[in-house]
Amino acid sequence: MAVRDKQPDPCLLAVIGGGAAGLTAAITAAAWLAEQSPSVLDQLRESCGLGQALPIIILEKNDRAGRRLLVTGNGRCNLSHQPLDHRHYFSQSAPFIQGPLQRFDLEATLDWFSRIGLACRTEPDGRVFPNSLQAASVLDILRQEAERLGIEIITDCDVEQLRESQPLYLGDRPLDAHHKWQIKTRDRRTFIASRVVVATGGLSYPSLGGSESGHQMMRQLGYPVTRMFPSIVQIKTETDWVRGLAGSKFEGRAALLRDGSPLRCEDGEVLFTRYGVSGPPVLQLARPVSACADDPASLQRLRLELDFLPDWTDDACLSWMIMRRHHHPSLELADFMTGLLPKRIGQALLKLSLNRSLGLPCSVLTESDYAAIVHQIHHTQLAVEGTLGWDQAQVTAGGLDVSSFRPNTLASRRHEGLYAAGELLDVDGDCGGYNLQWAWSSGHLAGLSAVRDLVAANQSSGRSHTGRRRRSGK
């Protein structure tokens, strides 16, 4: 049989998706190959029917790779967290997460970044950033490294379908049993690869490439996908009095309650908005809200509780108010809390806790008024109405079911030569650098496993060919 016309050029490894995980996978694979001995590489070239090159390609649907990276950490890219506590990750299989995170942990990640030219710094709260505090420098370093290693990044390449291909033939000789993946793009281009890493990310921020196409592609191959919902996202609450505070912020505590019991509690800067609340602690609490956002009955059981002065005891608040009233009894209630809290927030708390005009002097305050104000300071509750959804979410909770993949390699349990990495998988983390660390760790493991497995498969098939030749006397 002759070589068929217009046969797509085969490549060694195709990475679908040029985000944090995909770039890491391709760079790791290319760097590992570059370290192999000439005889290993020759064998690989011959068995894969390749010329001098050992092509590794990234197929990216956007007009440039890594666009999401540029917006991370408010443009500063919070790329990891020290220490990297695994309890900050979520998945249907918690033990699965350990595989990639232990094989390419924080130390290995920082060492890798340093080797490829990115210096990092750790803030006192444990968040790790590039030393430049610019997300663009992380992407620049990754792109420079990809270029140095000869990785081809093919942009505007929206992959639609992935399937195992028939072996290619050179004359009557099969080019290689490993050339088994056929990748088709929406604009009808085809790529053939021995190994494929799928790293198409999640659904959030469609403007940055977020979509379900990777999950769809994998579903067609029979891979289950767990329920997906937006995470690390702003929370919508009742807005009656909140709307009037839009733009005001305070440093305090936010807790998510279900049926009155706290599910989780976070400290930090809380921001009031037209739709509800935002700020790091709120984003951190959004996951359980988002998980039940489609179910009004479950949503009704949730409340967001704000503590405006978490470091102040009830007695401390009370003493402050008594002193204030004693010092300036004619002071209008509208100004009573000024000096303790942002003015508009103080006024809102008095309105919520007292049935009095704020034009009255503070001398009218009674003991029960004080108790009501103290309670309001520590326990202001808001009915929860949902989240801002996919458009604003930083990550996707849920995804490709991890039980289909091996935690120690990220290789598929169902198909040879197929690997998955990054947010596409059913793994998400808290705010604070955990999601990018997952992208680095899983991308590294998938890329490394893909080329290691390929070389191992070639070596064992080479040995069995030699054995067969010896046995048949050729």
Helix (H) or strand (E) holding 371: helix 367-378
- Under the binding rule (CB under 6 A), the answer on residue 159 touching ligand FAD is yes
* Type of residue numbered 19: G
The CB-of-440 to ligand FAD minimum distance in angstroms stands at 9
Report the 3 state secondary structure along 147-214: HHCCCEEECCCCEEEEEECCCCEECCEECCCCCCEEEEECCCCEEEEEEEEECCCCCCCHHHCCCCHH
The SS3 assignment for 420 reads: strand
Measure CA 144 to chain center: 23
Structure tokens at 347: 């006024």
The window from 44-52, 102-110, 200-208, 248-256 that contacts ligand FAD (CB under 6 A) reads 200-208
* Type of residue numbered 250: F
Helix (H) or strand (E) holding 266: strand 261-272
Structure tokens at 432: 């604070």
- Under the binding rule (CB under 6 A), the answer on residue 60 touching ligand FAD is yes
- Under the binding rule (CB under 6 A), the answer on residue 284 touching ligand FAD is no
Looking at residue 360, the DSSP 8-state letter turns out to be S
Find the binder of ligand FAD among 13, 61, 231, 401 (CB under 6 A): 61
How far is 90 from 227, CA to CA, in rounded Å?
A: 13
Find the binder of ligand FAD among 209, 399, 407, 447 (CB under 6 A): 209
Report the 3 state secondary structure along 230-255: EECCCEEECCCCCHHHCCCEEEEEEE
Q: Do 174 and 4 form a contact (C-beta atoms < 8 A)?
A: no
Looking at residue 8, the DSSP 8-state letter turns out to be P
Residues 438-457 that bind ligand FAD (CB under 6 A): 439
- Under the binding rule (CB under 6 A), the answer on residue 201 touching ligand FAD is yes
Find the binder of ligand FAD among 47, 72, 273, 380 (CB under 6 A): 72
- Under the binding rule (CB under 6 A), the answer on residue 418 touching ligand FAD is no
Nearest to ligand FAD of 77, 271 (CB atom): 77
| Crossing angle of the two packed helices 434-471 and 20-34, in degrees rounded to 10 | 40
H-only helix segments in 35-191: 38-48, 67-71, 94-103, 106-116, 135-148
* Type of residue numbered 197: V
What contacts 418, CB < 8 A, 6 or more positions away? Answer: 162, 181, 195, 196, 198, 221, 411, 412
The CB-of-110 to ligand FAD minimum distance in angstroms stands at 14
- Under the binding rule (CB under 6 A), the answer on residue 59 touching ligand FAD is yes
Find the binder of ligand FAD among 40, 70, 71, 331 (CB under 6 A): 71
Per-residue x/- track, 369-408, ligand FAD (CB under 6 A): -------------------------xx-------------
Residues 4-33 that bind ligand FAD (CB under 6 A): 16-22
* Count of residues touching ligand FAD (by CB under 6 A): 39
The CB-of-384 to ligand FAD minimum distance in angstroms stands at 22
Output the CA torsion 313→317→318→320 (10° steps): 130
Per-residue x/- track, 98-137, ligand FAD (CB under 6 A): ----------------------------------------
Find the binder of ligand FAD among 90, 112, 191, 205 (CB under 6 A): 205
Nearest to ligand FAD of 99, 201 (CB atom): 201
Q: Do 189 and 382 form a contact (C-beta atoms < 8 A)?
A: no
Nearest to ligand FAD of 200, 237 (CB atom): 200
- Under the binding rule (CB under 6 A), the answer on residue 279 touching ligand FAD is no
- Under the binding rule (CB under 6 A), the answer on residue 73 touching ligand FAD is yes
Nearest to ligand FAD of 77, 445 (CB atom): 77
The window from 118-126, 155-163, 247-255, 323-331 that contacts ligand FAD (CB under 6 A) reads 155-163
The CB-of-246 to ligand FAD minimum distance in angstroms stands at 21
How far is 96 from 357, CA to CA, in rounded Å?
A: 58
- Under the binding rule (CB under 6 A), the answer on residue 214 touching ligand FAD is yes
Find the binder of ligand FAD among 105, 158, 251, 416 (CB under 6 A): 158
Nearest to ligand FAD of 204, 441 (CB atom): 204
Looking at residue 425, the DSSP 8-state letter turns out to be B
How far is 407 from 99, CA to CA, in rounded Å?
A: 5
Nearest to ligand FAD of 190, 460 (CB atom): 190
* Closest residue to ligand FAD, based on beta-carbon distance: 19
Structure tokens at 304: 């967001």
- Under the binding rule (CB under 6 A), the answer on residue 204 touching ligand FAD is yes
Nearest to ligand FAD of 37, 74 (CB atom): 74
- Under the binding rule (CB under 6 A), the answer on residue 435 touching ligand FAD is yes
Question: Which positions touch ligand FAD (CB under 6 A)?
Answer: 16-22, 59-62, 68, 71-73, 77-78, 157-159, 199-201, 204-205, 209, 211, 213-214, 394-395, 422-424, 433-436, 439
